[in-house]
Amino acid sequence: MVSLRFLLAVPLVFLPLIAIIVYFASTGAEEAEKTVLIGSGSSFIAPQMYAWASQLKSKYPWLAVEYESVGSGAGLANFLDGVRDFAASDPPLPKNLWEKYRGKVIQLPVILGAIAVIYNLPEAGEGLRLTGEVLALIYTGEIKYWDDPRIKELNPGLNLPSKEIIAVHRSDSSGTTEIFTLFLHKSAPSVWPRELVGKAIDWPVDRKGNGVGAKGNEGVTSTVKSTPYSIGYVEWSYALDSGLPMAAIMNPRGEFLLPSIESIQKAVQNVELPESPLGDFSSLPLDVVYADVEGAYPIVSFTFLIFWVEYPQEKVEAVRTFIEYVSTEGQMEGNVVKGYVPVPDNIRRFNLEAVSLVREG
């Protein structure tokens, strides 16, 4: 702090220079006190991550959370390579990676979302109904036209034109793709084999000339919106923002459902968690996707935030604060973006256990 006695002793001509020095010194001190956490990964959760980052900035001016929507695969690679502080991924770590990093990483299921099937079909409008098998046949390229008898049988009241279906899919390594392809496999295993489940796959429909790749949920949404007679899969939040119609998808009980808070919550009502956030979550998507529960939407996913157990001393409190916020206030009404669903209370309590696990190292 510059004293009044000092200022009175300084010639007037130097006072503007001293003011500038004091300003930049104080600004530098404020910046030095801010802790920045940088994460990357899932585009599925991106709108919610941006909202949480803004909320945290308002509540904790000393903490800045920055997030890059690059896809679950790239985000996880960035994290494991040590160039990001945390990752977001829709599927949890596969078992082999969990084994490799056992005891070193924390996984937290922080939000629920659904994959909506959007379409651009001017003649039909809303009300399209599809099964997993028909979707699998579209993405293998076997069903090529909107007036295919197998689609017409599910939609007797819709005007389905004889137009080629453009099947839009992700071009990047994507957790949304892994969840969607897991759904195709579980609902139609004879059409969609296990080897076609993953974050990045060789899409059969591309070889038939009817497939189009796009980067991120943002890219798929934009491509479907601008391409008549196309279909695609995106997180529910993107579908709501797009204004495009969504198809009702059949669950194992034969119910045709759209994503909703209730139908998403139903899908996770029977999930079992590991003993701690250090545990193996790799089987969880199998329990949630195509869950055999009445009223459950069939393409539901958690998104996981993935942290290290050990951080440099200057980041420990920031990581703890981040985890605590997204597990408590971040789950409250008004803090959850439209198109996402808060995790149940038992999962919030489970996630809070991670606060005490984070340590200096």
Give a three-class secondary structure readout of 125-140.
CCCCEECHHHHHHHHH
Fold of 115-264: D-Maltodextrin-Binding Protein; domain 2 (3.40.190)
Q: What is the rounded average pLDDT of the residues 287-306?
A: 97
Q: What is the pLDDT of residues 15-64, one digit of tens each?
A: 344 333 333 333 443 444 799 999 999 999 999 999 999 999 999 999 99
Of the listed ranges 31-45, 84-98, 143-157, 290-304, the one predicted with least confidence: 31-45
Exposure on the CB side of residue 93, measured as CA atoms within 13 A: 27
Q: How far apart are alpha carbons 7 and 224 in whole angstroms?
A: 65
CATH 3.40.190.10 fits 34-113+270-285+301-360, yes or no: yes
Mean per-residue pLDDT over the chain, rounded: 92
Q: What is the pLDDT of residues 248-290, one digit of tens each?
A: 999 999 999 999 999 999 999 989 999 999 999 999 999 999 9
Q: How far apart are alpha carbons 246 and 221 in whole angstroms?
A: 12
In the block, residue with structure tokens 């409008």: 125
Q: Do domains 34-113+270-285+301-360 and 115-264 have the same CATH topology?
A: yes
In the block, residue with structure tokens 């996770």: 268
Reported residue count of the chain is 361
Domain ranges of the chain: 34-113+270-285+301-360, 115-264
User: In the predicted model, is pLDDT for residue 78 greater than 80?
Assistant: yes
Give the pLDDT confidence score for residue 33 in this predicted structure.
Answer: 78
